[in-house]
C-alpha cells in the first residue's frame, strides 16, 4: 500500500461507487472469493451470526443489556459463549488485592496514592 499510493486511491474511488452488497453480488457472479468486513455493531445483527447462535445477550453492571458475538466456533464439551459481561473497571480490585495477601489498610493506601482503583461505585 505504501508503494502504490496512486493505485490504492484509484481502487478506493472505484469501491466507493457501490454498496458492499452490490460488490458481493458482482464478486459472486464472477467467482471472486470475497466476504464483507463488518463493524462490531453490525456483526451482532448479521444473518449468519444469528442463524448459528453466535449472538449473545448479556446484562452489564453499568451499561445494561447489550448484545455481543461469541467466538466463531462451537465445541461439544466446552462452552465457548461468554458466560457474562466484563466487570466494570475496579469492581473486583479489593477482592483480588485481598487474595494476594494485602490488608484493608494497604489497599486503602494504594487507593489514596492512585495505585489502585475501586471503580465508579467507590467514588
At 70-116, the pLDDT tens digits run 887 878 888 777 778 888 899 999 999 999 999 999 999 999 999 99
Return the pLDDT at 121.
Answer: 58
At 36-76, the pLDDT tens digits run 888 888 888 888 888 988 888 899 888 899 888 888 787 88
Which residues share a beta bridge with 66? Answer: 58
Burial grade of 54 (CB within 10 A; 0-12, 13-18, 19 or more): buried
Q: What share of the chain in percent tops pLDDT 90? A: 50
Ranges assigned E (strand) in the chain: 55-60, 64-69
The torsion of the CA quartet 44, 80, 97, 60, rounded to 10 degrees, works out to 30
Cα R_g (the chain), whole angstroms: 23
Amino acid at each position: 500500500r505504501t508503494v502504490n499510493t496512486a493505485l490504492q486511491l484509484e481502487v478506493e474511488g472505484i469501491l466507493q461507487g457501490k454498496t458492499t452488497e452490490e460488490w458481493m453480488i458482482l464478486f459472486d457472479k464472477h467467482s471472486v472469493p470475497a466476504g464483507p468486513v463488518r463493524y462490531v455493531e453490525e456483526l451482532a445483527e448479521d444473518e449468519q451470526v444469528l442463524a448459528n447462535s453466535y449472538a449473545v445477550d448479556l446484562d452489564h453492571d453499568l451499561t445494561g443489556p447489550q448484545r455481543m458475538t461469541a467466538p466463531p466456533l462451537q465445541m461439544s464439551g466446552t462452552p465457548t459463549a461468554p458466560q457474562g459481561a466484563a466487570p466494570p473497571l475496579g469492581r473486583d480490585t479489593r477482592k483480588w488485592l485481598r487474595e494476594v495477601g494485602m490488608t484493608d489498610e494497604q489497599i486503602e493506601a494504594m487507593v489514596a496514592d492512585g495505585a489502585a482503583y475501586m471503580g465508579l461505585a467507590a467514588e
